[in-house]
Amino acid sequence: MSEVSLENVTKRFDSTVAVDDVSIDIDDGEVMGIVGPSGCGKTTALRLVAGFETPTDGAIRYDGEDVTHVPPENRNVGLVFQSYALFNNMSVLKNVTFGPKMHGVSKRERRERAEELLELLDIEELADRDPKTLSGGQQQRVGLARALAIEPHILLLDEPMTGLDAKLKQNLRQELGQLLEDLGITTLYVTHDQEQAMSMCDRIAVMNEGRLEQIGTPAEIYEQPANEFVAGFIGTANLLEGTIRDGTLSLGFGEVDAPETTVEEGDVTVLVRPDEIPVGDGPLDVEVTNLFYQGEHVQATAELPDGRELTLRLDRSRKTVGTGDTLSIDIDPSSVHVIQSTE
């Protein structure tokens, strides 16, 4: 049975449809990510699960039970915000024991539980500190400990790493991912950062303009995007228009065998990821128009013979490549994914 589910949920604010007929089932112990650009409805979806918004249509269920109209304080959800929203009038320890206290847990037990969580998150020495004096990373851990202290039905994370620097974000991402896996807690993780979602979530729901575009594992979303939006939002995408006739995909500048899984005939849009285009040996020559050094690799923009642009990923051994150089590439039929018929 699904632990938490949104069933055909719609949320309107006056004439604006923030969430449009969205259905998501989050399994017991699963980490579900919701990603999408700003204003896509992902935070509204989280607020609907938390109980801070009531759906215009549809239902929210916990373990099959309809909680659509249950107030947030009775839903037992752990919430961590981007700003952490720690209570500055209380010490760190008191922040963490606040939730259990509201749930009627005895003083001794809530103190034990808080100390256990602070130790688990490696911040036990901060127990008596004023939250205002903590760094962003420390505040994030306190916010997480506070949310976990109520042993929540579901943990809701709303962009919890947005304000952190890149290195800290990377470390915390690994730690948080490991923690969620160890605790086996059902989690809804809302972020606009697709890399975070890919590395931390068991499944990802991609939203755009209130609609659910696709839901699947990170690999499914990346390798088999349902449409152009998902292909473009998750990772870097080369979207090319072509035509399939008799098992052959014509891309204007050349032809390759159509992917075996393809059933469409006629005009199609295909996706080719930059990391799946071998560079250096191939029948197709492209001219490099732009180079972006990214440390671990170089991202290049190249012009195809028919004038269209293609993004390539070059390893660092090719750092001598310059703008205006010609590169030979190959497009392997196995790396071509037909994502949408344009007819």
Minimal distance in Å, beta carbon 97 to other proteins? 6
Q: Pick one of 2, 83, 162, 262: the residue that binds other proteins (CB under 8 A).
A: 83
Q: Pick one of 78, 137, 160, 235: the residue that binds other proteins (CB under 8 A).
A: 78
- Beta-sheet pairing, 187-191 with 154-158: parallel
Q: Which residues contact 318 (CB under 8 A, 6 or more apart)?
A: 279, 280, 298
Q: Whole-angstrom Cα distance, residue 222 to residue 235?
A: 7
Q: Are 164 and 140 in contact (CB under 8 A)?
A: yes
Q: Are 252 and 308 in contact (CB under 8 A)?
A: yes
Of residues 98 and 253, the one with the C-beta less far from other proteins: 98
Q: Whole-angstrom Cα distance, residue 22 to residue 42?
A: 11
Q: What does the per-residue mask of binding to other proteins show for 18-37, with x meaning CB under 8 A?
A: --------------------
Burial 27-65 (b: 16+ CB within 10 A, else e): eeebbbbbbbeeebbbbbbbbbbbbebebeebebbbeee
Q: What does the per-residue mask of binding to other proteins show for 279-318, with x meaning CB under 8 A?
A: ----------------------------------------
Minimal distance in Å, beta carbon 201 to other proteins? 21
Minimal distance in Å, beta carbon 95 to other proteins? 9
Q: Whole-angstrom Cα distance, residue 51 to residue 327?
A: 55
Beta bridge partners of 282: none
Which segment (140-148, 166-174, 310-318, 335-343) binds other proteins by CB under 8 A?
A: 140-148
Coil, strand or helix: which one is 109? helix
Site for other proteins in 89-128 (CB under 8 A): 89-91, 93-94, 97-99, 102-103, 107, 111, 128
Minimal distance in Å, beta carbon 170 to other proteins? 25
Q: Whole-angstrom Cα distance, residue 278 to residue 329?
A: 6
Site for other proteins in 45-74 (CB under 8 A): 50, 52, 71-74
Q: Are 60 and 44 in contact (CB under 8 A)?
A: no
How many residues in the shown chain lie near other proteins by CB under 8 A? 36
Q: Whole-angstrom Cα distance, residue 287 to residue 254?
A: 16
Q: What does the per-residue mask of binding to other proteins show for 147-186, with x meaning CB under 8 A?
A: x--x-----x------------------------------
The residues of the shown chain that bind other proteins, judged by CB under 8 A, are: 50, 52, 71-79, 81, 83, 85, 87-91, 93-94, 97-99, 102-103, 107, 111, 128-130, 143, 146-147, 150, 156
